[in-house]
Amino acid sequence: PGMGCQVRNGGRDMTIDSRDITDLLDPADIADGPLAVRSPIDGAPLGRVPLDDSAAVAARIGRAHEAFLHWRTVPAPRRGELIRLLGEELRANKQALGRLVTLECGKSIQEGYGEVQEMIDICDFAVGLSRQLYGLTIASERPGHRMMETWHPLGVVGVISAFNFPVAVWSWNAALALVCGNPVVWKPSEKTPLTALACRTLFRRAVERFGADAPEGLLEVVIGDRAAGEALVDDPRVPLVSATGSTRMGREVAPRVAARFGRSILELGGNNAMIVTPAADLDLAVRAILFAAVGTAGQRCTTLRRLIVHVDVYDRLLPRLKAAYAQVTIGNPLEEGNLLGPLIDRGAYEAMQRALDAARVQGGTVTGGERVLAERWPDAYYVRPAIAEMRGQTACVREETFAPILYTLTYRDLDEAVALQNAVPQGLSSCIFTNDLREAERFLSAAGSDCGIANVNIGPSGAEIGGAFGGEKETGGGRESGSDSWKAYMRRQTATVNYSGSLPLAQGIRFDV
Ligand code: NAD
């Protein structure tokens, strides 16, 4: 509309004003390419985007590498200024970008705005960080010597992201990478290229305001599927690949990066649990379960998938939970009142149905899970959130199915609950609901949860950016976002300076002729 690009107004079902969204998309970027982008809201096309072949990916990496040679010499606090400006652009465009997130990946509009807020938060964090890339000074064993540790820029950072957090995951990586002196080559999910192109527009605006010392090529966006990702993964000019997505993807990416001695940050699948003890505040627990299991249609890496409830509480909790589930409003996620939008596509719906069939075969009792709104939107996949009451932690419970399925289990003593919670291949997020200090501390102890994230009286999803984010085991072991995650984006140099006039060797070794 007006801008020559093809983002659709949405027709009568959509309540969007598309002008501010199309302003985020450069018509030159949205030529009539081979990649068709569809909105999961109604399955209708949003536009067609050109794809990068492997030669184009290599050229983008080359531009980013050229940019690195200059950017690494720009003082870090000055690099922080670019991220401050990016944060301003995000603040000014929060509504439009948030709506585009909802339009392209189907999460509720509140969560669309929340995702952009998370980008703003990480920009603020990174601006402060740009003055705090501290190294150590270390006591030397030799007289007249000084030893220190300096963190230097690393090089081009490759970012591969998933459809479900189409923009926030990029910003966690990019804000840190850029203040650390590294350009970014970003391959977004092929399901969500428009939000990535919109981020590039905002980044370009920040670069324009920043001035001449920002080189071309600080952010390159690669549009493509797995093949484009592989071109990025295999390129030796990319010393760090930060990849977010399924464990299947991580299993392919990690050995390829390792084979060329590159580094990777892997943020893969989760299978997150909540333990509800007899000492839990059930009001809090029900609210937490609802958001964590149903929010984003169960398509968060941190979605609550397993509920491990003490046998004495189970019969009180489950009816309340089912009553809360029955009140969840399902529908067009652009409308504020709807809590549950669509699944990303037909494939996700079919995977959900397969998992529910398996749950039944494996002895479970399933409530919900059926498709709704199919007459209104035959090409979109809305479902009722499902609860599968299981008798044990069977095969389907140990897998991540990216849909709103909550498996419930019971336990008798806390050690058993913790063992159940840890007995899955994934290790992302976990939580306990209890007002008993001993239970909470046992859960957080070395013998407690084995996950990267462990919460008390908070659900497993919706982390703040200030902490390091990531998980263990098949979740991949990476950490992003806050705390000292920035160190993964830099190279550490140990330097020793001799100002003594003699040459004492370490460990007292003598080597004189
Ligand atoms: P996906 O694995 O299908 O795709 C993720 C990205 O990897 C896409 O950009 C895709 O094109 C790319 N890709 C796939 N195979 C590749 C290969 N061999 N080489 C290089 N790139 C490749 O995941 P998805 O369906 O988009 O996202 C859902 C998954 O992501 C879930 O498993 C979820 O738990 C996980 N996830 C994890 C986190 C986290 O921080 N741990 C965050 C969000 C999503």
Three-class SS string for 299-312? CCCCCEEEEEEEHH
CA–centroid distance, 48 to ligand 1, in Å, is: 22
Half-sphere exposure in the Cβ direction for 48 (13 Å, CA): 4
- Which residue has its alpha carbon closest to ligand 1 atom 13? 226
Tokens describing residue 328? 């969840």
Q: Are 152 and 495 in contact (CB under 8 A)?
A: no
CA–centroid distance, 244 to ligand 1, in Å, is: 5
Q: Which of 111, 230, 267, 389 is catalytic?
A: 267
**Does residue 407 surpass a pLDDT of 90?**
yes
> Mean of the per-residue pLDDT values for the chain?
95
**Does residue 4 surpass a pLDDT of 80?**
no
Measured distance CA(432)–CA(275) in Å, rounded:
5
**Does residue 8 surpass a pLDDT of 90?**
no
Q: Helix crossing, 437-444 with 414-422: angle to 10°?
A: 30
**Does residue 11 surpass a pLDDT of 70?**
no
pLDDT tier for residue 219 given thresholds of 50, 70 and 90: very high
Atom number in ligand 1 closest to CA 188: 9
Sheet holding 386-389, edge to edge: 365-367, 386-389, 405-411, 304-310, 272-276, 429-433, 453-456
141-186 pLDDT, tens per residue? 999 999 999 999 999 999 999 999 999 999 999 999 999 999 999 9
Mean pLDDT of 180-207: 97
Q: Are 331 and 381 in contact (CB under 8 A)?
A: no
- Which residue has its alpha carbon closest to ligand 1 atom 26? 162
- Which residue has its alpha carbon closest to ligand 1 atom 40? 267
CA–centroid distance, 492 to ligand 1, in Å, is: 29
* Residue 22 confidence (pLDDT): 83
Q: Are 63 and 57 in contact (CB under 8 A)?
A: no
**Does residue 383 surpass a pLDDT of 50?**
yes
- Which residue has its alpha carbon closest to ligand 1 atom 22? 226
**Does residue 2 surpass a pLDDT of 60?**
no
Q: Are 150 and 96 in contact (CB under 8 A)?
A: no
Alpha-helical segments (H) within 272-413: 282-294, 311-326, 346-361, 395-398
Answer yes or no: 267 catalytic: yes
Tell me the C-alpha to C-alpha distance, in Å, between residue 268 and each of 291, 452, 472, 476, 481: 21, 12, 9, 6, 15
Report the DSSP beta bridge partners of residue 480. 469
Alpha-helical segments (H) within 180-246: 193-210, 226-234
Enter the DSSP assignment of 340.
B
pLDDT tier for residue 317 given thresholds of 50, 70 and 90: very high
pLDDT tier for residue 500 given thresholds of 50, 70 and 90: very high
What φ, ψ does residue 386 adopt, rounded to 5°?
-110, 145
CA–centroid distance, 374 to ligand 1, in Å, is: 27
* Residue 77 confidence (pLDDT): 98
Residue with tokens 């890496």: 301
Mean pLDDT of 478-503: 98
Atom number in ligand 1 closest to CA 191: 26
Mean pLDDT of 313-325: 98
pLDDT tier for residue 289 given thresholds of 50, 70 and 90: very high
Of 442, 401, 403, nearest in space to 424 by CA: 401
* Residue 93 confidence (pLDDT): 97
Question: Hey, which bits of 358-478 come out as E strands?
Answer: 365-367, 371-372, 382-383, 386-389, 405-411, 426-427, 429-433, 453-456, 468-469, 472-473
pLDDT tier for residue 270 given thresholds of 50, 70 and 90: very high
User: Which helix H or strand E contains 133, and what residues bound it?
Assistant: none
CA–centroid distance, 217 to ligand 1, in Å, is: 25
**Does residue 121 surpass a pLDDT of 60?**
yes
Decide: residue 511, CB within 10 A, 0-12 exposed, 13-18 middle, 19+ buried: exposed
Atom number in ligand 1 closest to CA 402: 31
**Does residue 12 surpass a pLDDT of 70?**
no
Ligand 1 — pocket residues by CB below 6 A? 160-165, 169, 187, 189-190, 225-226, 229-230, 233, 244-246, 249, 252-253, 267-270, 301, 400, 402, 428, 475
CA–centroid distance, 161 to ligand 1, in Å, is: 6
* Residue 415 confidence (pLDDT): 98
* Residue 7 confidence (pLDDT): 40
Q: Are 424 and 267 in contact (CB under 8 A)?
A: no
**Does residue 434 surpass a pLDDT of 50?**
yes
* Residue 6 confidence (pLDDT): 38
Of 222, 228, 262, 226, nearest in space to 242 by CA: 262
Ligand 1 pocket test: pick from 226, 428, 485 the residue with the most ligand atoms within 8 Å of its Cβ: 226
**Does residue 298 surpass a pLDDT of 50?**
yes
The whole-model pTM stands at: 0.96
User: Which helix H or strand E contains 145, and what residues bound it?
Assistant: strand 145-153
**In percent, how much of the chain has pLDDT > 70?**
96
pLDDT higher for 65 or 16?
65
Mean pLDDT of 109-127: 98
Q: Are 3 and 22 in contact (CB under 8 A)?
A: yes
Alpha-helical segments (H) within 180-281: 193-210, 226-234, 247-259
CA–centroid distance, 295 to ligand 1, in Å, is: 19
Atom number in ligand 1 closest to CA 303: 34
pLDDT tier for residue 492 given thresholds of 50, 70 and 90: very high
Ligand 1 pocket test: pick from 111, 160, 191 the residue with the most ligand atoms within 8 Å of its Cβ: 160
Ligand 1 pocket test: pick from 244, 248, 430 the residue with the most ligand atoms within 8 Å of its Cβ: 244
